[in-house]
Amino acid sequence: MSSPRRVALAGMGIYVPERIMTNKELEARLDTTGEWIQSRTGICERRIAAPEQAASDLGVIAARRALQDAGLAAEQIDLIICATASGDTTFPSTACLLQTQLGATAAGAFDISAVCSGFIYAYAAGANMIASGQAKRVLIVAAEKFTTLLDWEDRSTCVLMGDGAGAVVLTSDAKQGELLSCSLGTDSGGIENLIIPAGGSARPTTHETVDQKLHYMKMNGPEIYKFGVRIIGESVSEALKLAGLNESQLDLLIPHQANIRIIKSAAKRFNLTMDKIVVNIDRYSNTSAASVPIALAEAKEQGRLRPGMHVAMVAFGAGLTWGTVVLRW
């Protein structure tokens, strides 16, 4: 049996909508203050997609930028995996729509639904396709128009989320971002703590479900906070062990941008100063599956990814799901 093929990161790209919604704007709509939002979450503003923009419209821009960064044409892509919880339609998949918009005529396409963990799950799936020899070039797109899933009268949830997209291209011959390990996990015992209750086959859409606002995100904030604090440490630690690394060898942490207090807890857990953690929650809020690839691309743009660095990307979300990818830059 042949050895697994090397997997590395050939290119990346992001897109965030033009419209900025500040905490001040939310003060006029909700019983809250910008200071309260920032102190509890770290969020100062978020991006809001235009009414005519769907998740695929955000994702296709990020994807084109990733392809350009990789020096590849869309026709050279073998597989497109889209991580989204806010896809354009129930079916077909948003990945299929991206395949058409990009002109990736040789690519298979499918979606992954792991909500905020979606990019990590998609990364693991795409990497395994390359490692097994079933694909040479994989495009992973995380695209979210999550603001359509929010009850804008619920201050406990609507202040947390924003829209955006990030994309990466994986190949076996890229010189940067070599994959060292992936670690994924799920605990459905906490499924009710973060959920959209209606709209699926279990509770189809009715006048009653619409009237009760059951098609919007519902969250048990305290439980999700405790879960996030615990699982980031456990997941990153496991992935580092799988990569054959000690925790002291972690050079840069790129966490899911859910809450600044959770991120600071991770810094304390791994004895990292904040300059070794990528944070952009203040500008984008939580963009669900897109948050990690957006942060990754910004880290590269800022010159924070240097040859030889060990980088961990970690996310957690509904399911409850979590995962970590460790790279050697």
Active-site residues, by number, are 116, 256, 286
Sign of CA dihedral 302, 307, 310, 313: positive
DSSP H helices in the chain: 23-27, 34-41, 55-70, 94-102, 118-131, 155-158, 207-211, 221-242, 260-269, 281-284, 291-301
Which residues does 88 contact at the CB level (< 8 Å), separation at least 6?
54, 55, 56, 94, 97
Residue 264, exposed/middle/buried by CB under 10 A (0-12, 13-18, 19+)? middle
Pick left, alpha or beta for residue 212 (phi over 0 → left; psi -120 to 50 → alpha; otherwise beta): alpha
CA distance linking residue 161 with residue 60, whole number of Å: 21
The contacts of residue 315 (CB under 8 Å, 6+ apart) are 116, 117, 118, 119, 120, 255, 256, 289, 291, 292, 322, 323, 324
What residues contact residue 19 under an 8 Å CB cut-off, 6+ apart? 47, 48, 49, 50
Q: Tokens at residue 78, please?
A: 């073998």
Written as one string, the DSSP assignment of 178-223 is EEEEEEEEE-GGGGGGEE--SSSSSS---HHHHHTTTTS-EE-HHH
